[in-house]
Chain A
Amino acid sequence: MNGHCGHDGVELPTLDPGVTLLDVDSSLGVEPLCAVVLDRLLHESGRAFWVDAGGHVRTRTLLQLAPHRRYLDRIATARGFTAYQHASLLDRLPRVVSDAAVDGDPPALVVAPAMDRLYREDDVPREQARELLVGRLATLAGVAREREVPVVLTRHRDDALSEPLAAAAHETYTCRATRFGPRFDAEGGDDETLVYHTGDGWMQTTLAFWREILDHRARAVDAPVDTAGDTARRPSTPAAPATPEGW
């Protein structure tokens, strides 16, 4: 891997069945998580289930990153805006996953970003927050086990409340901003270090960066890539004011 277009053979973390905690530098935004989800869909059939906490899911970002907008049809998402809603969604998840599997759409991945976030709000009594959160973590671990599917979590903050998330994860990846670009590391093993050399000014935006990598990976496995999509993303040209004569 080197220089300007050196992402040949770039690998995103390979997800195994079970709970994976992904710790992403906040400066990197939601893109690394979106990239991991989309990458999984490039390589696996089936559906991603995205249980969102308070508007983390940005369909615009997913659309911009996805090699083809069709991938969004394969992401089933529901958002909790209170801890209570989030907890209900996770209660509902096993049935939703099971129903989809019966319909011929087995789960490829389950993702719960900022899993701990809503349980920190003022409307949840402290003693209940942990109980609700740990109960739903068990639900997710159960889905991972029974469906043999990867479950990816991220946490809003690293502290006592979110500690069970790390404990439940059989694998933890970090994604850090380095001067060479974003870099995934597997905790406790140095064989999984993945560095994207982005070189000198190759990368204008992280969006473009991830998009490039995903397109490349999609082509490598012959997954659909939308070649016409780029023009649609261009901003419109400004028009001169239409003010009539005499003004």
Chain B
Amino acid sequence: MVLTIDYDDTAVTEWRLTSDGVERTRVDDYRPTMYVGAPVAELYGEHGGPTPRARLPKRGALTDALADVRAFFEGHDAVADLSVDVWRQTFRSDARPVLRVDCRRIEDVRAVARRVHQFGDADAHTCYNVDLTRQLRYTLETGTDPAPDTAVRDLRTMRLGLPAHGSDAAALADLTIDGEPAGATPRAAVEAVAERLAAVDPDVLVVDTARVVPLLFEAAADHGIESFALGREPGYTQLASASTYTSYGQVGHSPARYAVPGRAIIDRSNTFFYDEAGLDGCLDLVDRAGLPLQELGWASIGRVLTAMQIREARSRGVLVPWRAWRPEFFRSATTLDTADRGGTTLAPEVGVHEDVHELDFASMYPNVIREYNVSPETVRCGCCDNDRVPNVGYSICERDGYLPDVLGPLIDGRSEIKRRIRASDDPDEIETLEARSSAIKWILVSCFGYQGFSNAKFGRIECHESINAIARELLLDAKAALEAGGWRVLHGIVDSIWVTPAPDVADAERRPLDAIAGEVSASTRIELEYEAAFDWVAFCPRRGGDGGALTRYFGRRRGEPYPDDGLGDAVKTRGIESRQDDTPAWVARLQAALIRTLDRTHDAEAVCGELATWLGRLDDGAVDPSDLLIEQRVSKRAEQYRHETVTVAALKRAAWKDCALEPGQRVRYLVVDDDARGVGRVRLRHEPLRGYDTAWYRRQAIRAAESVLSPLGWDRERIRRWLSGTRDARLSTY
């Protein structure tokens, strides 16, 4: 059980928790391993297909082509040892001899893989286990448990805060340690950090931005503090530079990553799971996913899922492919059209509906994977002749797939956590368990989409299509059962279904929902759970179009009290402004107030009256500008945007203010004058915020009001007319 693992040239250091500190073990003979295997065409190409039959030379021997590669690398600097191992190169092929290359240093792995491709044609060989992250690799190859042993003691953490816009040594004057200012000058800050490190001896450094690592070391050097170390030994390693990348149309930004000896770093500007689940949730996930803490800190959901798949693959004797060579199979355009439809939705009936009940299939996609044995190597397996996937007719293998084995423990683990939450009355414990549950939930909800992601190590689009096709059938089965039981289906989307008593069925004829749900659960093998009762639910129409929006609604949960402010759990909302990340806080609060008014009065004009009050405060300049800030994720560079939106203005202003933002990062700004040109339209969050553009925010407010009133047939024009009517009326009373 390790806290963290450092690489240092040809040696590795393991750090383990002890009751009073850490134990350090230096390992000199660890050599990272990659593999070279069969040509692409043999695995996936002409001889590929459902069950590739790689040609076998005599038992235990390499093919001539691989023997040539072996001869080429003999005596190569980067290579410590060459040997023959037996592995499966895909989930669909049998084990066979591959060339095993033990590299001298971690950096050599990629270099060797690149040389393999230069040595032969780009597709003459396939490489495996090339791009594993270094700590995960070590734990896999040495069989080391990747989780720190918290039974020995709890982890000690230290937080280092740095303002987002500070990028040079001077910013260290604003550094905080566990929330307290560190020192008035960079020198004082460095000294304070050193002092606290000595006192606390933390295991985990939680930093606002990893840039603080080089900044502290540079400032220490500038001020002659030679002994300064952020880790448990001198120095630091830059693992990756900051980069902006495009991956198949998506732009992302990844901040630079650093490591210090003996401590795990969690970068708040580059973490999903720490934000979502806290340190405890992260540790829980380290255990389940087998990804060491520091790597879990910066991992995306996909990376965690991949780590789990890699472990499962390894346990089944399968290597991790470097390049995504495996294509989908040919099928008719008709089948593709059916398969490519996406999640099922039953168009909602626009308007307000009273006495509504929601039922959900529990963890539908993961359960479909598990119960129906959907896995990249089981779908269209080529060995079984069945058409288990409805509508598209794909076969699913009789043999157990690996994906159900990966997800099964997560599904059960989450159920167990939820059971403990129900059983507990300790708020702290509940909070901890909720965080754990949420971290797992993210992996479960993403595993489906990830199957369709082209660069996923073990993804497969036909798998994605099969899950969809099965899920669609389940939803339709549920709909039919509910209708037969005397209920009218108002809306259905992916795994949720909303019903109200069918008006033409007498109450005595109507069957109770739990009875129907129980039957559906039994026949589909996935629990259809009764989610909630609503006094009313409002389904919004599609903006500027016909019919209902699939995912925009809000509904009043029966018996759920309102909090003092906002909606809390009393109203469930989806897709409307207050749910969106980039909606200013003031607009979100306004929308909540309008929904409460609607709930109280059932009257559109009363809602307009409430809106008018809020707009009055806006017009008077009485709204705090910081409540009007907009936060958006930057998707491309300012010059790449086609329209001069306020976001573009904000990006240009950031560049002008010397804190240019990269795609993938977030920008926060206030609209001060939409009619101005260029950088004058907005102010950034860290600038002095005084006035705001009343007319612009008024439009946002009316838009938010339109969402609330649209189920009642009101559009923004009618709201505007009402507002100007009352204003005129008010003026005329003076």
Where the two chains meet, the residues of A that have a C-beta atom closer than 8 Å to any C-beta of B are 49-50, 54, 57, 59-60, 62-63, 69, 72-82, 84-89, 91-92, 94-96, 121-123, 125, 127-128, 131-132, 135, 235-244, 246-247
Q: Knowing A87-B123, A88-B40, A135-B121 touch, does A244 contact B334 (C-beta < 8 A)?
A: no
Q: With A and B bound together, what is the CA distance between A132 and B331 in angstroms?
A: 24
Contact of A87 among B325, B350, B455 (CB under 8 A): B325
Q: Does B711 contact A (CB under 8 A)?
A: yes
Q: Are B333 and A92 in contact (CB under 8 A)?
A: no
Minimum CB–CB distance for B44 against chain A, Å: 4
Q: With A and B bound together, what is the CA distance between A138 and B650 in angstroms?
A: 49
Q: Knowing A80-B327, A81-B454 touch, does A241 contact B350 (C-beta < 8 A)?
A: yes
Specify which chain B residues have a CB less than 8 angstroms from the CB of A241 in the assembled complex: 350-352, 541, 711-713
Nearest to B548 among chain A residues (CB) is: A239
Minimum CB–CB distance for B380 against chain A, Å: 12
Q: Does B409 contact A (CB under 8 A)?
A: no
Q: Knowing A72-B332, A72-B333, A87-B123 touch, does A81 contact B461 (C-beta < 8 A)?
A: yes
Minimum CB–CB distance for B491 against chain A, Å: 11
15 example contacts (A-B, Cβ-Cβ < 8 A) are as follows A76-B333, A77-B332, A81-B324, A81-B455, A82-B455, A85-B325, A91-B44, A92-B45, A92-B49, A121-B248, A128-B122, A131-B121, A239-B350, A240-B351, A244-B353
Minimum CB–CB distance for A131 against chain B, Å: 5
Q: With A and B bound together, what is the CA distance between A236 and B546 in angstroms?
A: 7
Residue among A57, A84, A235 with the highest chain B CB neighbour number at 10 A: A84
Binary flags per residue of B108-134, CB closer than 8 Å to A gives 1, else 0: 000000100110011100000000000
Contact of A60 among B328, B329, B337 (CB under 8 A): B337
Q: Are B327 and A89 in contact (CB under 8 A)?
A: yes
Binary flags per residue of B438-480, CB closer than 8 Å to A gives 1, else 0: 0000000000000000110000010000000000000000000
Q: With A and B bound together, what is the CA distance between A246 and B41 in angstroms?
A: 69
Specify which chain A residues have a CB less than 8 angstroms from the CB of B329 in the assembled complex: 78
Q: Does B641 contact A (CB under 8 A)?
A: no
Q: Are B352 and A243 in contact (CB under 8 A)?
A: yes
Specify which chain A residues have a CB less than 8 angstroms from the CB of B616 in the assembled complex: none
Q: Are A57 and B248 in contact (CB under 8 A)?
A: no
Contact of B602 among A87, A238, A246 (CB under 8 A): A246
Binary flags per residue of B329-360, CB closer than 8 Å to A gives 1, else 0: 11111101100100000000111111000000
Minimum CB–CB distance for A182 against chain B, Å: 23
Minimum CB–CB distance for A45 against chain B, Å: 16
Specify which chain B residues have a CB less than 8 angstroms from the CB of A82 in the assembled complex: 248, 323-324, 454-455
Q: Are B48 and A59 in contact (CB under 8 A)?
A: no
Q: Are B332 and A73 in contact (CB under 8 A)?
A: yes
Specify which chain A residues have a CB less than 8 angstroms from the CB of B626 in the assembled complex: none
Q: Are A243 and B325 in contact (CB under 8 A)?
A: no
Specify which chain B residues have a CB less than 8 angstroms from the CB of A128 in the assembled complex: 117, 122
Nearest to B39 among chain A residues (CB) is: A91
Q: Knowing A88-B325, A88-B327, A131-B122 touch, does A59 contact B46 (C-beta < 8 A)?
A: no
Specify which chain B residues have a CB less than 8 angstroms from the CB of A89 in the assembled complex: 327
Q: Are B48 and A88 in contact (CB under 8 A)?
A: yes
Q: Are A92 and B46 in contact (CB under 8 A)?
A: yes
Minimum CB–CB distance for B130 against chain A, Å: 12
Binary flags per residue of B174-187, CB closer than 8 Å to A gives 1, else 0: 00000000000000
Q: Does B245 contact A (CB under 8 A)?
A: yes
Specify which chain A residues have a CB less than 8 angstroms from the CB of B303 in the assembled complex: none
Specify which chain B residues have a CB less than 8 angstroms from the CB of A122 in the assembled complex: 245-247
Q: Knowing A72-B334, A82-B455 touch, does A132 contact B546 (C-beta < 8 A)?
A: no
Specify which chain B residues have a CB less than 8 angstroms from the CB of A131 in the assembled complex: 121-122
Binary flags per residue of B28-55, CB closer than 8 Å to A gives 1, else 0: 0000000000001100111111000000
Q: With A and B bound together, what is the CA distance between A227 and B114 in angstroms?
A: 57
Where the two chains meet, the residues of B that have a C-beta atom closer than 8 Å to any C-beta of A are 40-41, 44-49, 114, 117-118, 121-123, 245-248, 323-334, 336-337, 340, 349-354, 454-455, 461, 541, 546-547, 602-604, 711-713
Specify which chain B residues have a CB less than 8 angstroms from the CB of A91 in the assembled complex: 40-41, 44-46, 48, 123
Specify which chain B residues have a CB less than 8 angstroms from the CB of A79 in the assembled complex: 327-328, 461
Nearest to A99 among chain B residues (CB) is: B49
Nearest to A76 among chain B residues (CB) is: B330
Q: Are A242 and B713 in contact (CB under 8 A)?
A: no
Q: With A and B bound together, what is the CA distance between A49 and B46 in angstroms?
A: 16
Specify which chain A residues have a CB less than 8 angstroms from the CB of B331 in the assembled complex: 76-78
Minimum CB–CB distance for B320 against chain A, Å: 15
Q: With A and B bound together, what is the CA distance between A73 and B337 in angstroms?
A: 10
Q: Are B349 and A242 in contact (CB under 8 A)?
A: yes
Specify which chain B residues have a CB less than 8 angstroms from the CB of A60 in the assembled complex: 337
Minimum CB–CB distance for A30 against chain B, Å: 13
Q: Are A243 and B248 in contact (CB under 8 A)?
A: no
Q: With A and B bound together, what is the CA distance between A246 and B47 in angstroms?
A: 69
Closest A-B pairs by Cβ, 4 of them: A91-B45, A81-B454, A241-B351, A59-B337
Minimum CB–CB distance for B91 against chain A, Å: 16
Contact of B44 among A75, A92, A237, A238 (CB under 8 A): A92
Residue among A50, A57, A86, A242 with the highest chain B CB neighbour number at 10 A: A242
Q: Knowing A91-B40, A122-B247 touch, does A247 contact B352 (C-beta < 8 A)?
A: yes
Q: Are A95 and B49 in contact (CB under 8 A)?
A: yes
Specify which chain A residues have a CB less than 8 angstroms from the CB of B350 in the assembled complex: 239, 241-242
Minimum CB–CB distance for A153 against chain B, Å: 18
Minimum CB–CB distance for B222 against chain A, Å: 36
Minimum CB–CB distance for B232 against chain A, Å: 36
Contact of A78 among B327, B337, B713 (CB under 8 A): B327
Nearest to A235 among chain B residues (CB) is: B546
Q: With A and B bound together, what is the CA distance between A121 and B249 in angstroms?
A: 10
Specify which chain B residues have a CB less than 8 angstroms from the CB of A237 in the assembled complex: 546
Q: Are A59 and B41 in contact (CB under 8 A)?
A: no
Q: Knowing A92-B49, A135-B123 touch, does A87 contact B40 (C-beta < 8 A)?
A: yes
Q: Knowing A74-B332, A246-B602 touch, does A54 contact B248 (C-beta < 8 A)?
A: yes
Minimum CB–CB distance for B469 against chain A, Å: 15
Specify which chain B residues have a CB less than 8 angstroms from the CB of A243 in the assembled complex: 351-352, 711-713
Q: With A and B bound together, what is the CA distance between A82 and B461 in angstroms?
A: 12
Specify which chain A residues have a CB less than 8 angstroms from the CB of B713 in the assembled complex: 240-241, 243
Specify which chain A residues have a CB less than 8 angstroms from the CB of B354 in the assembled complex: 244
Q: With A and B bound together, what is the CA distance between A79 and B604 in angstroms?
A: 50
Minimum CB–CB distance for A78 against chain B, Å: 4
Nearest to A70 among chain B residues (CB) is: B334
Nearest to B452 among chain A residues (CB) is: A81
Minimum CB–CB distance for A68 against chain B, Å: 11
Minimum CB–CB distance for A178 against chain B, Å: 25
Specify which chain A residues have a CB less than 8 angstroms from the CB of B49 in the assembled complex: 92, 95
Q: With A and B bound together, what is the CA distance between A57 and B336 in angstroms?
A: 10
Q: Are A238 and B547 in contact (CB under 8 A)?
A: yes
Q: Knowing A80-B327, A132-B122 touch, does A125 contact B114 (C-beta < 8 A)?
A: yes
Specify which chain B residues have a CB less than 8 angstroms from the CB of A127 in the assembled complex: 118
Minimum CB–CB distance for B187 against chain A, Å: 42
Q: Are A81 and B248 in contact (CB under 8 A)?
A: yes
Q: Are B326 and A85 in contact (CB under 8 A)?
A: yes
Contact of B353 among A84, A239, A242 (CB under 8 A): A242
Q: Are A85 and B454 in contact (CB under 8 A)?
A: yes
Minimum CB–CB distance for B321 against chain A, Å: 9
Specify which chain A residues have a CB less than 8 angstroms from the CB of B603 in the assembled complex: 247
Minimum CB–CB distance for A6 against chain B, Å: 31
Specify which chain A residues have a CB less than 8 angstroms from the CB of B333 in the assembled complex: 50, 57, 59, 62, 72-73, 75-77
Specify which chain A residues have a CB less than 8 angstroms from the CB of B547 in the assembled complex: 236, 238-239
Contact of A59 among B122, B336, B546 (CB under 8 A): B336
Q: With A and B bound together, what is the CA distance between A77 and B336 in angstroms?
A: 8
Specify which chain B residues have a CB less than 8 angstroms from the CB of A80 in the assembled complex: 327
Q: With A and B bound together, what is the CA distance between A85 and B454 in angstroms?
A: 9
4 new A-B contacts at CB < 8 Å, known A72-B333, A122-B246: A81-B461, A88-B327, A92-B49, A131-B122
Q: Knowing A74-B332, A81-B454, A135-B123 touch, does A239 contact B327 (C-beta < 8 A)?
A: no
